[in-house]
């Protein structure tokens, strides 16, 4: 989408103007022979970030519906009603214009008269350089979120661990990010029994993808870990048809990490950032890992497999152990980890976990700022007594109880973060994001069906500010 800046309102009658008004109705109308996009802002015209996100998306969705390809907005209409800096306003608008203008059409035939994408947005008024930069930055972030959505939406038959590793390399083309990819041999040398165990049933070789963006002199790095299950059948504990649908998106955490780092490089964020992706396919076959199998993890701890469908935590555990070698100042893992996270929060926010309350607060604030909302659940020590410990191994990967599944998943990961020698405390500050609730967009999001591209925007803000 092209963004053009003008001092005066463009005269061309094919350009539809945006009019903000009170009330709840948002529609396309005609005024003086020209199309107008009316956006209802509810009671009063005050704008806040949440309202602005849906406003920007509605503009694009309505324009597409009415086959309007050029839209004009009077920037002062927005500034006067918005409570935050104008450059941020510009960024939020641009990000959400881009997100709403995306549809996953790779596998669809082109309609006879083409797709209805918005081609150009004219911003008119006195636009200062920092506001232009806000728009430009928003376009970069929005473009990367959409690239993340393309990866996550790609069908499982095509998106294998190998293809995911290649996609990472493609995403960093001409960017100062080093990508290394480990295969079975190298993971065997590292004793990554978790990743190798889950991958046993699949013909596709697992990969461990390492991305290094070092622009922060001697700073300790932030490590981002993304769950890269390219298809989750459940393994021998096979999912039902309904449960397996959409499981090609079980690598959404990985897709997000790739494009967060690409955004950081494009925005030239002066920090050291590492991305780690354990990539596997979880398949049933005569070679699959079995319920009752005991896996020896990279950390040396053993895990009894109770349920082969709780595979995400098993591969992430090895990645968290690998992260230690960087002596990171923060580790964030992002995973479509549990259906229970959806049961807890619905589909409006991802669940966050941390032992550090100030990190929880930071993430909630960044969630509000970015539009990728997060909400916490507890990680109390008491939960360790609810079934993390194993009978025949140190740990189990799943539990008998149907309750608190998102918490138990997080508690399992915590076993690979905490410092057993120090009794309390972690080896590094850590946040776990169970993004299963936000894997796909929902009706009220004003986004195309499929992957939502979260929590890319939040993590970009984190890297900028933390």
Active site residues: 239, 313
* Closer residue to ligand BES (CB): 52 or 340: 340
Strands 70-74 and 34-40: unpaired
Contacting Zn ion (CB under 5 A), which of 168, 229, 269, 374? 229
Residues between 376 and 415 with contacts to Zn ion, criterion CB under 5 A = none
Contacting range for Zn ion; rule: CB under 5 A; set: 21-29, 42-50, 310-318, 451-459 = 310-318
Q: Choose among 291, 276, 279: nearest CA to 390.
A: 291
Residue 291 in contact with ligand BES, rule: CB under 6 A: no
What tokens were used for 440? Answer: 């796909």
Q: What residue 279 binds from ligand BES, Zn ion, none (CB within 5 to 8 A, per partner kind)?
A: none
Q: What residue 72 binds from Zn ion, ligand BES, none (CB within 5 to 8 A, per partner kind)?
A: none
Q: Within a 10 A sphere around the Cβ of 59, how many other Cβ atoms?
A: 26
Residue of closest CB approach to ligand BES: 339
Q: Within a 10 A sphere around the Cβ of 291, how many other Cβ atoms?
A: 16
Residue 168 in contact with Zn ion, rule: CB under 5 A: no
Q: Choose among 272, 308, 268: nearest CA to 292.
A: 308
Is residue 149 helix, strand or coil? Answer: helix
How far apart CA 241 and CA 154 sit, in angstroms, is 19
CB 342 → ligand BES: shortest distance, Å? 6
* Closer residue to ligand BES (CB): 312 or 371: 312
How far apart CA 443 and CA 230 sit, in angstroms, is 25
CB 89 → ligand BES: shortest distance, Å? 33
Give me the 235-254 binding string for ligand BES, x by CB under 6 A, dash otherwise.
Answer: ---------------x----
Contacting Zn ion (CB under 5 A), which of 88, 232, 246, 434? 232
How far apart CA 193 and CA 314 sit, in angstroms, is 9
How far apart CA 183 and CA 228 sit, in angstroms, is 14
| Number of residues in contact with ligand BES under rule CB under 6 A | 15
Residues between 403 and 432 with contacts to ligand BES, criterion CB under 6 A = 405
Residues between 306 and 325 with contacts to ligand BES, criterion CB under 6 A = 307, 309-312
How far apart CA 258 and CA 171 sit, in angstroms, is 7
Residue 250 in contact with Zn ion, rule: CB under 5 A: yes
Q: Choose among 289, 313, 333: nearest CA to 406.
A: 313
Residue 226 in contact with Zn ion, rule: CB under 5 A: no
CB 250 → Zn ion: shortest distance, Å? 4
Residues between 43 and 102 with contacts to Zn ion, criterion CB under 5 A = none
Residues with Cβ within 8 Å of 422's Cβ and at least 6 positions away in sequence, in order, are none
Residue 146 in contact with ligand BES, rule: CB under 6 A: no
Query: Which helix (DSSP H) or strand (DSSP E) does residue 464 occupy?
Result: helix 456-465
Residue 331 in contact with ligand BES, rule: CB under 6 A: no
* Closer residue to Zn ion (CB): 261 or 341: 341
How far apart CA 120 and CA 15 sit, in angstroms, is 9
Q: Choose among 374, 365, 369: nearest CA to 89.
A: 369
Q: What residue 338 binds from Zn ion, ligand BES, none (CB within 5 to 8 A, per partner kind)?
A: ligand BES
Please report which residue ranges of 156-227 form alpha helices under DSSP H: 161-171, 184-189, 193-199
CB 228 → ligand BES: shortest distance, Å? 12
Residue 153 in contact with ligand BES, rule: CB under 6 A: no
> Rg of the chain over CA atoms, in angstroms?
23
* 327 φ, ψ (degrees, to nearest 5): 45, 55
How far apart CA 139 and CA 357 sit, in angstroms, is 32
Residue 458 in contact with ligand BES, rule: CB under 6 A: no
CB 104 → ligand BES: shortest distance, Å? 18
How far apart CA 16 and CA 25 sit, in angstroms, is 17
Residues with Cβ within 8 Å of 93's Cβ and at least 6 positions away in sequence, in order, are 52, 56, 73, 78, 135, 138
Give me the 338-367 binding string for ligand BES, x by CB under 6 A, dash otherwise.
Answer: xxx---------------------------
Check: CB of residue 178 under 8 Å from CB of residue 212: yes
CB 282 → ligand BES: shortest distance, Å? 7
- In the block, which residue shows the tokens 């140190």? 394
Q: What residue 103 binds from Zn ion, ligand BES, none (CB within 5 to 8 A, per partner kind)?
A: none
Residue 256 in contact with ligand BES, rule: CB under 6 A: no
Residue 246 in contact with Zn ion, rule: CB under 5 A: no
CB 135 → Zn ion: shortest distance, Å? 37
What residue ranges bind Zn ion (CB under 5 A)?
229, 232, 250, 309, 311-312
What residue ranges bind ligand BES (CB under 6 A)?
232, 250, 307, 309-312, 336, 338-340, 398, 405, 436, 439
């Amino acid at each position: 989408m092209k963004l053009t800046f003008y001092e005066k309102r463009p005269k061309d009658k094919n350009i539809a103007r945006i009019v903000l008004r009170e009330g709840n109705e948002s529609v396309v109308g005609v005024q003086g022979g020209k199309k107008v996009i009316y956006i209802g802002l509810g009671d009063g015209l005050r704008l806040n970030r949440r309202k602005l996100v849906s406003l920007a998306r509605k503009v694009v969705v309505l324009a597409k519906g009415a086959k309007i390809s050029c839209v004009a907005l009077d920037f002062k209409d927005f500034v006067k009603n918005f409570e935050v800096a104008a450059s941020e306003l510009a960024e939020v608008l641009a990000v959400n214009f881009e997100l709403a203008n995306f549809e996953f059409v790779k596998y669809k035939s082109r309609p006879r008269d083409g797709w209805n994408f918005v081609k150009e947005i004219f911003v008119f008024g006195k636009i200062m350089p920092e506001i232009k930069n806000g728009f430009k930055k928003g376009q970069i972030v929005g473009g990367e979120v959409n690239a993340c959505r393309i990866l996550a939406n790609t069908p499982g038959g095509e998106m294998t661990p190998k293809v995911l590793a290649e996609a990472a390399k493609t995403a960093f083309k001409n960017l100062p990010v080093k990508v290394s990819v480990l295969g079975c041999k190298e993971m065997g040398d590292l004793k990554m029994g978790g990743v190798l165990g889950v991958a046993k049933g699949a013909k596709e070789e697992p990969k461990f993808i390492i991305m290094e963006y070092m622009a922060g002199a001697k700073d300790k790095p932030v490590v981002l870990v993304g769950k890269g299950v390219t298809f989750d059948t459940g393994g021998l504990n096979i999912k039902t048809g309904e449960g397996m649908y959409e499981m090609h998106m079980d690598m959404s955490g990985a897709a997000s990490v790739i494009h967060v780092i690409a955004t950081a490089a494009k925005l030239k964020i002066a920090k050291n950032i590492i991305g780690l992706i354990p990539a596997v396919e979880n398949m049933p076959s005569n070679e699959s890992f079995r319920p009752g199998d005991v896996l020896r993890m990279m950390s040396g701890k053993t895990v009894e497999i109770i349920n082969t469908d709780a595979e995400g935590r098993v591969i992430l555990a090895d990645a968290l152990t690998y992260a230690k070698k960087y002596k990171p100042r923060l580790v964030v893992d992002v995973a479509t980890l549990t259906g229970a996270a959806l049961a807890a929060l619905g589909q409006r926010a991802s669940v966050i976990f941390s032992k550090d309350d100030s990190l929880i607060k930071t993430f909630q604030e960044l969630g509000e700022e970015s539009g990728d909302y997060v909400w916490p659940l507890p990680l109390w020590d008491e939960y360790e007594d609810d079934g993390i410990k194993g009978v025949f191994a140190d740990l189990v990967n799943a539990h008998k109880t149907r309750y608190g599944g998102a918490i138990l998943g997080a508690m399992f990961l915590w076993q690979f973060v905490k410092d057993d020698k120090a009794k309390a405390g972690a080896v590094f500050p850590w946040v776990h994001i169970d993004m299963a609730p936000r894997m796909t967009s929902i009706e009220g999001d004003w986004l195309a069906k499929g992957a939502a591209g979260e929590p890319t925007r939040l993590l970009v803000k984190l890297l900028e500010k933390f």
